[in-house]
Structure 1
């Protein structure tokens, strides 16, 4: 036994002690790490299936034409109302001028119609006065005829005188009827002109709408930024023919802010609520944490919104844990400016017990 003890030198003993201490420290670290992991597992939900999102909208053309000039560069920041590109508007200007001329013509025709209406109304007034004159003349001839008829019966007037009086009466009656018909015709013509006037007024409204449409087309040849944002990749060139509805560029909406879509397992969302605080760390900025709040939970799993949602009743069933998209709004907008849409992120949300 003494021989064996003598085989352990002081160096061996020192190495043994150091090794024991190191092993003990490692065990303590592992225990501490295990405790922290269990604490986090019990109090927090975490996922690395998350990405930063922003609204990325296409910039489209409302008219067809050739690009005259492009006023932006790739990845350029723009403000709302900044001109992005200009389309050749020569043809649309000609259409606008044609619509203006057509509107002026319709307005001139309505003025002519109003003048004819006034003239015809005056003619009707004259015809109405002629009715009164013809009526008075008819009354006088009727009186003369009645007088000659009485005289003829007592043989104080000749038959010729009676016939002349009757002829004059018939002429006066015809003139009276003619005056009435002339007045009615004038009134009808005034009504016809009023009806035609309504047609021309409707035509003027149509021409005005057509002119506004042409002015809109001319305005559409200047494409501006719809909001503050940042342009994406540029794929168009000056002189290129573009079609109405064609996508010309993409713009990132900086006014709407940024958010994170975190896809948590269905077993993790039971204790999540709206407005819960979330801590976000991105792969691009390790060690830097971004604050956010839960603003919504998806009404269905991500698989249900896919192009071909799974149908477990059509074949063999294999249970797979589904993911629920959770939208988290970044609360510190200034700090979140460095983030870009599509960046990977890790999200931690405290559990509610």
Structure 2
């Protein structure tokens, strides 16, 4: 019997039609539910960029001694937290204390030589002043002798004129022989006095020349004293620098923490001999961030301050959040030890990775779940704001 005849006889539809409608309705419900459930994931997928090439990073400071020596004490243990200025280890300081004492003794000796040079310089200045005073005195004596010569010359000329006049009068018999003899004697005395004064000027000129030579010698001694002073002062400065260096080396025997953090890779023990610059441990800063190496095709819409969801492999299910701090201006391969040389002719296009720094926003959560450098993470950057900006820029370019 056909379905139509069965429907007319019984007045009911067949079961196959009911099943078909139920199946279609169930399928429609499942489809709508699937779309409703998948839509948020789709929206999330198109508005987020993620990568599994990401890890935790931080500041890692390598600690090394600045002076060599035997380690006398170690004040830290593995994974211990230290603060800035904490003493990590101490190197035997006895040799450096002796070096400081030697440098201080040399500085005291150099200081004594400087004082000696100052005394010699003062004596040279006094000697020069004395020689100049003697020269001035001898010059004054010369001036007095010049005045005496002028006076003696005037007396001689007067007596010579008197003798000439009296001699003429004596020939006429107007004066006596005694007066003529007296005039002659006076003229001889005046000539002798003039000659005597003239002889004194030669002696005085010789004394002046001697004083001038003494001044030149005193000036040379003064210049030499100045030179010695400069040399000894330079040696004093050198000795002071040696003291400063010895004091610094002594202070370097106490190795202190330059920053706060956690001790890692400790490789120093009491009694070890360490060299200057030898790495003995590292300090890992508690401040951490994420370095995510996104493909170059993923960063087109990324911007600073965009929100980031972070999954840490060590803490599944813990919702870490952060924001984009900066995007490196250059791919990772560009800053490797041997960057690729594409001009060599063997170029193969490879999608490059660009490091993006992501800063975590919840320090309390980071303190509760410690993050160590090198941990693997999966960041997901919300690029919806960047897409809006990109769309507006594209629209503005189209309108132009």
Shorter-chain TM-score above 0.5: yes
Which residue of structure 2 lines up, in the alignment, with residue 115 of structure 1? 119
- The 8 Å contact of residues 84 and 224 in structure 1, kept in 2 or not, is answered as yes
Cα pair distance change 1:87/1:166, threshold 3 Å: same
- The 8 Å contact of residues 100 and 246 in structure 2, kept in 1 or not, is answered as yes
Question: Partner of 1:48: helix, strand, or coil?
Answer: coil
Quote the offset at 1:151 in angstroms: 6.9
In structure 2, C-alpha distance between the alignment counterparts of 1:35 and 1:251, rounded to whole Å: 47
Residue 185 (str. 1) matches residue 217 (str. 2): yes
Which residue of structure 2 lines up, in the alignment, with residue 297 of structure 1? 327
- The 8 Å contact of residues 148 and 157 in structure 1, kept in 2 or not, is answered as no
Residue 170 (str. 1) matches residue 202 (str. 2): yes
Residue 285 (str. 1) matches residue 278 (str. 2): no
- The 8 Å contact of residues 50 and 378 in structure 2, kept in 1 or not, is answered as yes
In structure 2, C-alpha distance between the alignment counterparts of 1:187 and 1:308, rounded to whole Å: 69
Which residue of structure 2 lines up, in the alignment, with residue 125 of structure 1? 129
- The 8 Å contact of residues 292 and 331 in structure 1, kept in 2 or not, is answered as yes
Quote the offset at 1:213 in angstroms: 1.5
Indicate which of 83, 91, 99 corresponds to 1:79.
83
Residue 205 (str. 1) matches residue 244 (str. 2): no
Question: Partner of 2:276: helix, strand, or coil?
Answer: coil
Which residue of structure 2 lines up, in the alignment, with residue 236 of structure 1? 268
Which residue of structure 2 lines up, in the alignment, with residue 321 of structure 1? 351
In structure 2, C-alpha distance between the alignment counterparts of 1:322 and 1:29, rounded to whole Å: 39
> What pairs with 1:7-22 in structure 2 (closer than 5 Å)?
none
Cα pair distance change 1:181/1:51, threshold 3 Å: same
Cα pair distance change 1:235/1:27, threshold 3 Å: farther
In structure 2, C-alpha distance between the alignment counterparts of 1:133 and 1:351, rounded to whole Å: 100
Which residue of structure 2 lines up, in the alignment, with residue 252 of structure 1? 284
In structure 1, C-alpha distance between the alignment counterparts of 2:110 and 2:94, rounded to whole Å: 25
- The 8 Å contact of residues 121 and 229 in structure 2, kept in 1 or not, is answered as no
- The 8 Å contact of residues 56 and 374 in structure 2, kept in 1 or not, is answered as yes
Aligned-residue CA RMSD in angstroms? 2.9
Structure 2 regions of 5+ residues with no counterpart?
A: 2-18, 161-186, 388-400
Higher helix proportion (structure 1 or 2): 2
In structure 2, C-alpha distance between the alignment counterparts of 1:32 and 1:39, rounded to whole Å: 11
Question: Partner of 1:123: helix, strand, or coil?
Answer: helix
In structure 2, C-alpha distance between the alignment counterparts of 1:266 and 1:176, rounded to whole Å: 96
Structure 1 regions of 5+ residues with no counterpart?
A: 2-15
Residue 137 (str. 1) matches residue 167 (str. 2): no
Indicate which of 356, 372, 382 corresponds to 1:350.
382
Cα pair distance change 1:345/1:162, threshold 3 Å: same
Indicate which of 52, 55, 61 corresponds to 1:57.
61
TM (norm. structure 2) is 0.74
Quote the offset at 1:149 in angstroms: 6.1
Quote the offset at 1:226 in angstroms: 0.4
In structure 2, C-alpha distance between the alignment counterparts of 1:235 and 1:33, rounded to whole Å: 55
TM (norm. structure 1) is 0.83
Quote the offset at 1:314 in angstroms: 4.3
Cα pair distance change 1:26/1:102, threshold 3 Å: farther
Cα pair distance change 1:314/1:191, threshold 3 Å: closer
In structure 2, C-alpha distance between the alignment counterparts of 1:137 and 1:202, rounded to whole Å: 45
Range 137-146 or range 320-329, more displaced: 137-146
- Report which of the two structures shows the higher radius of gyration computed on alpha carbons: 2
